[in-house]
Amino acid sequence: MPPGLAMGTCSKAGLRLLRSGAPGGPRHTRPQTGLPVALAATKFRYNRSFASYCKPAMSHEAPAPISNFIRQVIDADLASGKHASIVTRFPPEPNGYLHVGHAKSICLNFGLAEDYTGLCNLRMDDTNPEKEEDEYIAAIQEDVQWLGYQWQGEVRYASNYFDQLYAYAEELIVAGKAYVDDLTPEEMRQYRGNLNEPGKESPYRSRTPDENLTLFRQMRDGAFADGSKTLRVKIDMASGNINLRDPVIYRIRRATHHQTGDKWCIYPMYDYTHCISDALEGITHSLCTLEFEDHRPLYDWVLNNITIPAHPQQIEFSRLELLSVVTSKRKLRQLVEEHLVTGWDDPRMPTISGMRRRGYSPEGIRLFAQRAGVSKTPNVVDFASLEGAVRETLEEASPRVIAVLDPIKVTLTNFEPGVTGSRSAPFHPHHEEWGEREIPLAREIYIEREDFAEVPPPKWQRLTPGGEVRLRYSYVIKCDEVIKDSAGMVVELKCSLDKDTLGQNPVGRKVKGVIHWISAEHAIEAEVRMYDRLFTVARPDAVRGDDGEYVDFKQFMNPASLTVITGYVEPVVRDAAPETRYQFERLGYFVTDRKDHVAGGKPVFNRTVTLKDTWATQGQA
């Protein structure tokens, strides 16, 4: 499906044929737009790869914006003339891979900028040199672009502003609003007080501006040991907001920085850096999660006490809590370092790179972010909502192919040996312009083991001994004989094929069941990774034991979160490129693995999501 290909629909007759299990619905016709002329004139055959038509951007339309309190603030600011346009930013710390919570923030900040014809910056808040790496910076940029967004100009770094941050710190010192403190971290905690008791002023708070300026410059020049001194702003040690009890804005730390090298041995704290970086970039609306609400007075205090022209407005919204996952970077790193997952991009991880490798579409993640909403109330969302949004976008965008993942051999006893027929099937029931593929039919085929029952339950409509079922896009077959091995397991079915049943039921008999199948001779063997949820409980990091202590979240890991099997897939997927998405008919959505799949080699598929929410039907959601 080339980019820009118009959506098409099957004819009513074609849909009737599909529903009846006839040979594949509407025949291939030359599409009106999109396909190269040479290919448009050629009927798809089973050995022609459809990969190049599966990979481009999806046709699922972007959802319309939904009003929320942040949009109301922006609307009022633009209407009043406070701002002529808006500038937002996405400011991750490059100390790990982005996860689903970051995806919501990306969609919010970049989405608002798009909707209001504004700008959005990508800024690395890189003030902690010991934890930040270029690997994470590259991954962050890739994730943002994969989600469909582009920042204005170059990637920005808080470290680009270290000189200005230092100058503003000296300005605060000269004004008597900052001082160098010699308290140890433990002493500082004791002096800070708590929510019920006011803090105590440091004995070093009374140092003169000249003394503080000299000491601060000596800190910069490396005269003191790491952690021996800090620079604090002088606000109010009795404040009910602990963040205003003379917070530290600089500390001594000898560490090589990924951007500035060894130029600095003092580094600014996040709260101090964040607001000034916003102001220097001309950010109009600084959007943060709700835990920064108590930090807003400090954000405003810093900007009100330095000579900086801009004063962005910080607005807080509730953090996304997605059930059945953990999003703490510390816990995610633990999973990686203890080899409980294969890496940050393991398809079971809630990282953007993990979701991408699993086959989630950027459109699905954006749709999920919109549906999750923006508010100040707790934003608790079931994992099924994410899967549902992904499933919804994949439904219209994924070509259909047949795969058999747990095969039983079926021998069609009245089908001539050595002869290969074929049945036509559309790549998508709603996209006639995508064309068809030819599915080879031979004497020996595979069906799914779960589509056969020796002793069927009530209302069973699949294959049984002596029963009939239709092969999808093909004929009706009847099971005449069941062959078992020495352990009593069914290993083969002998069936007869009714050659008068293409597109119609046999005379006098009504066959309701339709199952999928694949030619044993022509099928391609594939490695199929059946992924499921990584944890078995909704909040794995919030379960307390009998002693009241939190239980190690790793105890709730799902032992069935990954099962690797060998399956059989239509030969049309032979040349599929990595990250090619398909719907395996009746089974779910699958994608060729981003790393391990090689076009032309043995396919490697990841299950993205089932056709339905199986956890809900099991009562486990």
Same domain, 261 and 327: no
pLDDT above 60: residue 317: yes
Name 470's Cβ contacts closer than 8 Å, sequence gap at least 6. Answer: 21, 476, 477, 501, 511, 513, 514, 515
* Tokens at 369, concatenated: 């972010």
Q: What pLDDT does 16 receive?
A: 34
In a domain, 1, yes or no: no
Containing domain of residue 229, as a range? 162-268
Same domain, 282 and 147: yes
Same domain, 429 and 508: yes
pLDDT above 60: residue 14: no
In a domain, 556, yes or no: yes
Consult the annotation and say whether 532 binds a ligand.
no
In a domain, 45, yes or no: no
pLDDT above 90: residue 45: no
Consult the annotation and say whether 319 binds a ligand.
yes
pLDDT above 90: residue 1: no
Average pLDDT over all residues of the chain: 89
Q: What pLDDT does 621 receive?
A: 38
How many whole angstroms separate alpha carbon 349 and alpha carbon 589? 18
**What pLDDT band is residue 367 in, cutting at 50, 70 and 90?**
very high
**Segment 589-621, tens digit of pLDDT:** 999 999 999 999 999 999 999 998 765 555 443
Domain termination site, one of 483, 505, 522: 522
At residue 615, the 3 state secondary structure works out as helix
Consult the annotation and say whether 525 binds a ligand.
no
Same domain, 289 and 180: no
Provide the β-strand partners of residue 436: 426
Tokens 């590259």 found at = 138
C-beta separation of 319 from 291 below 8 A: yes
Q: What pLDDT does 64 receive?
A: 65
The CATH number given to whatever domain includes residue 87 is: 3.40.50.620
Q: Work out how many domains the chain is built from and give that number.
A: 4
Lowest mean pLDDT among 17-21, 135-139, 242-246, 610-614: 17-21
Cβ density class 518-537: b for 16+ within 10 Å, e for less: bbbebbbebbbbbbbbbbbb
Same domain, 166 and 302: no
End-to-end CA separation in angstroms for the chain: 35
C-beta separation of 249 from 165 below 8 A: no
Torsion of CA 149, 151, 154, 155, to 10 degrees: -80
pLDDT above 60: residue 22: no
The CATH number given to whatever domain includes residue 243 is: 3.90.800.10
pLDDT above 50: residue 12: no
Same domain, 178 and 154: no
Consult the annotation and say whether 270 binds a ligand.
yes
Handedness of CA 67, 68, 69, 74 (dihedral sign): negative
Q: What pLDDT does 507 receive?
A: 85
Lowest mean pLDDT among 99-103, 347-351, 441-445, 502-506: 502-506
**What pLDDT band is residue 61 in, cutting at 50, 70 and 90?**
low
Q: What pLDDT does 27 receive?
A: 31
Q: Which of 93, 201, 392, 527 is catalytic?
A: 93
pLDDT above 90: residue 17: no
**Segment 223-282, tens digit of pLDDT:** 999 999 999 999 999 999 999 999 999 999 999 999 999 999 999 999 999 999 999 999
In a domain, 48, yes or no: no
Same domain, 512 and 536: no
C-beta separation of 356 from 145 below 8 A: no
Consult the annotation and say whether 320 binds a ligand.
yes
In a domain, 264, yes or no: yes
Same domain, 166 and 257: yes
**Segment 152-174, tens digit of pLDDT:** 999 999 999 999 999 999 999 99
Radius of gyration for the alpha carbons in the chain, expressed in angstroms and rounded? 31
In a domain, 50, yes or no: no
Consult the annotation and say whether 125 binds a ligand.
yes
Q: Say whether 329 is catalytic.
A: yes
Q: What pLDDT does 508 receive?
A: 84
pLDDT above 50: residue 551: yes
- How many CA atoms are closer than 13 Å to the CA of 236, on its beta-carbon side? 9
In a domain, 530, yes or no: yes
In a domain, 240, yes or no: yes
At residue 299, the 3 state secondary structure works out as helix
Q: What pLDDT does 39 receive?
A: 25
Which candidate, 437, 407, 412, places its Cα nearest to that of 425?
A: 437
Q: What pLDDT does 40 receive?
A: 29
pLDDT above 90: residue 15: no
Same domain, 516 and 529: no
How many whole angstroms separate alpha carbon 92 and alpha carbon 235? 28
Q: What pLDDT does 36 receive?
A: 28
How many whole angstroms separate alpha carbon 445 and alpha carbon 408? 8
Q: Which of 27, 55, 319, 409 is catalytic?
A: 319
Tell me the pTM. 0.86
Domain termination site, one of 237, 252, 268: 268
pLDDT above 90: residue 8: no
Q: Alpha helix (H) ranges present in 24-176?
A: 37-40, 69-80, 100-115, 134-146, 162-174
Q: Say whether 319 is catalytic.
A: yes
**Segment 488-534, tens digit of pLDDT:** 999 999 999 999 998 888 888 888 899 999 999 999 999 999 999 99
Same domain, 228 and 169: yes
Same domain, 277 and 343: no
Average pLDDT rounded to a whole number, residues 302-309: 97
Same domain, 502 and 530: no
Which candidate, 536, 432, 437, places its Cα nearest to that of 42?
A: 437
The CATH number given to whatever domain includes residue 348 is: 2.40.240.10
Q: Which of 48, 177, 329, 409 is catalytic?
A: 329
Q: What pLDDT does 506 receive?
A: 86
